[in-house]
Amino acid sequence: MKIATWNVNSLKVRLDHLLEWLARCQPDAVCLQETKTEDSAFPAAAIEAAGYRVAYFGQKTYNGVAILARSNIESVTMGIPGFADEQKRVLAATVSGVRLVCAYVPNGQSLESDKYRYKLDWLAAFTEWLRGELVSHPLLAVLGDYNIAPADEDVHDPVAWAGQVLVSPAEREAFDKLRAVGFKDSFRLFPQPERSFTWWDYRMNAFRRKMGLRIDHILLSDALAARCTSCMVDVAMRALERPSDHAPVVAELAD
DNA sequence: ATGGCAGGAAGCTCCTGA
């Protein structure tokens, strides 16, 4: 089973890229973030024509998540239970017996921002929810845009980024705490190229200059990590004309 | 020290993202 996560930065703008990528990559399940699309405008027909079923939880302008799968999408839940949130950032579903959580973690904007406090509160609620989910769903994968670069090797210039949002100690502690619930960062289960990133700023030719961050992740429960045979970043998607600023991350699970 | 690129909504400019 091939599972993937991709922040598309507007599904409307990226639909052609998505369809081409589905045909080339042939993932069994995909978690999308930043669809920026109201449910009434979700391009379900085009995606279904490509052989995928869809579940979506979106809003206008900001946020929005979706799960695509080649087999049935079951037991769909939206949001973090018990955490009041106007922003549509979490969608969970079961596909082929695997529980998938699609997450768009808040950005935080800056350490001084109210949005940073929201990010940390959000991560605390997310982590406690997943602690329970792991008990009821041992085959659990949490895929998404975490907006956290877990370690300095995930940052093109750790000195320049030190103390900023996406790399701050409190955010990394929150990521470590989530991992400690019982997840492995699938990307780090395998040797990887140096300077592997999943996001590059649109400005300053950041992609061409390899100035990126690794902030999109596929976390796997121990039972799924034991079945994981590969994890890679599909960098080619960032090199296209009018790309998303994020590249997909793809993991393979043995049957 | 600042803005830089992109998308969306609104509407000819601003907010947000990361």
Span A42-88, pLDDT tens digits:
999 999 999 999 999 999 999 999 999 999 999 999 999 999 999 99
CA of A80 to C1' of B13 (A): 35
**pLDDT given at position A129:** 98
Q: SS3 for chain A, per residue?
A: CEEEEEECCCHHHHHHHHHHHHHHHCCCEEEEECCCCCHHHCCHHHHHHCCCEEEEECCCCCCCEEEEECCCCEEEEECCCCCCCCCCCEEEEEECCEEEEEEECCCCCCCCCHHHHHHHHHHHHHHHHHHHHHHHCCCEEEEEECCCCCCHHHECCHHHHCCCCCCCHHHHHHHHHHHHCCEEEHHHHCCCCCCCCCEECCCCCCCCCCCEECCEEEEEEHHHHCCEEEEEECHHHHHCCCCCCECCEEEEECC
**pLDDT given at position A161:** 94
pLDDT digits (tens, 9 = 90+) for A186-217: 999 999 999 999 999 999 899 999 999 999 99
Cite the active site residues of A.
Answer: 104, 145
Confidence class for position A30, pLDDT limits 50, 70, 90: very high
CA of A61 to C1' of B14 (A): 14
A242: which nucleotide lies closest, measuring CA to C1'?
A: B6
**pLDDT given at position A227:** 98
Q: Which bases of chain B are under 7 A from a protein CB atom?
A: 3-9, 16-18
pLDDT digits (tens, 9 = 90+) for A107-131: 999 999 999 999 999 999 999 999 9
CA of A11 to C1' of B8 (A): 12
Confidence class for position A91, pLDDT limits 50, 70, 90: very high
